[in-house]
Amino acid sequence: MKNLLYIGNKLQQTNKTLTTIDTLSKNLQRESYHVISASGKKNKLFRLFDMLYHIVKHRKTTDYVLIDTYSTLNFYYAYLCSKLCVFFKLKYIPMLHGGNLPERLKSSPKLSASIFNKAHVNIAPSLYIKSSFEDSGFENVECIPNAIEIENYPFKKRHFDKVKLLWVRSFSKIYNPTLAIKIAKILKDKHMDVALCMVGPDNDGSLDEVKTLAKKLNITVRFTGKLPKEAWIKLSEDYNIFINTTNFDNMPVSVIEAMALGLPVVSTNVGGMSFLIEDGVDGILVRPNDERAFVEAVNKVISSIEDIEKMTLLARKKVENFDWEIVKHQWISVLK
């Protein structure tokens, strides 16, 4: 049995969105790996110290250290944790999250080289990140997609008597949630029967901004807050178009889940989205921060029912390849 130490922001219990450290840890445990994870500390400084403490504490029993790596503050967490792993001669594996990581490679080339060149292997959840790293000269990169358990996502054929938009993400500026309100406003002004539901916790105060804009524009929105996976999957049965409004992205699990459920996806064409969705084939990609482009896409969905049915079937077929029972073999190969 391999012993793994997983370093990341384990904040599910603090009203944050479920992340890879939660889902992958559980999946690996089911495959008989012993997984210890850190950290769930709310305070950022305490969280960093807790991460470093766990590396020191478990240095003699750990086979691999998995390190969630993002482009923002967490990038420096990953740097310090990787340095400690090098000091103790531990094999570490950066998990390359965040659609803006390619920009971090450009803005912090020395720190990036220090982290990623010395890694046992770097794991990219998308071909977008993999190709970006390879373009920057990193050769030790493998692509292992974010996994879902496909059996938990019943495919449903949608009906379009009414436009029912579903948005699922944490409320953060990088995900541009106010765009969803602007889309609903234009549809309403066109005298279309439209409903909008936004699922997710507040991350940086954006939720209040979205609610203020919705009130100003007289748009009725259903805000659910953070929901358990099972709850939002059940709720999704009442909606017929999934919108992804983000300005930066990599390989979002929420979009993969929407594709699995049979929801036609309209997403901004940013980051790794074009590596996940083939525009016009298994989803629709539009310009970022462009509500009118979204409205055109919504009109295409509701006016091309047969084409959309084919699109959602192809999307489902694509994401079936992200089922854990398939993806787990890649992890087993990396951790052998």
pTM for this prediction = 0.92
CB distance 122 to 116 below 8 Å: yes
Domain ranges of the chain: 3-144, 150-321
Is 3.40.50.2000 the CATH number for 3-144?
A: yes
**Helix, coil or strand: residue 220:** coil
CB distance 308 to 165 below 8 Å: no
CB distance 328 to 262 below 8 Å: no
- The DSSP secondary-structure symbol of 289 reads T
Centroid of chain to Cα 323: 15
pLDDT in tens, 254-296: 999 999 999 999 999 999 999 999 999 999 999 999 999 999 9
Q: What percent of the chain has pLDDT over 90?
A: 92
- Rounded to an integer, what distance in angstroms lies between the CA atom of residue 62 and that of residue 55? 9
pLDDT at 16 over 70: no
pLDDT level of residue 11 (50, 70, 90 thresholds) = confident
pLDDT given at position 254 = 95
Q: Which residues, in sequence order, are CB contacts of 87 under 8 Å at separation 6+?
A: none
pLDDT level of residue 15 (50, 70, 90 thresholds) = low
pLDDT given at position 17 = 64
Is 1.20.1090.10 the CATH number for 150-321?
A: no
pLDDT given at position 207 = 98
pLDDT level of residue 12 (50, 70, 90 thresholds) = low
CA neighbours closer than 13 Å in the CB half-sphere of residue 24: 28
**Helix, coil or strand: residue 138:** coil
Q: Do domains 3-144 and 150-321 have the same CATH topology?
A: yes
pLDDT given at position 1 = 83
pLDDT in tens, 305-325: 999 999 999 999 999 999 999
pLDDT in tens, 192-245: 999 999 999 999 999 999 999 999 999 999 999 999 999 999 999 999 999 999
pLDDT level of residue 10 (50, 70, 90 thresholds) = confident
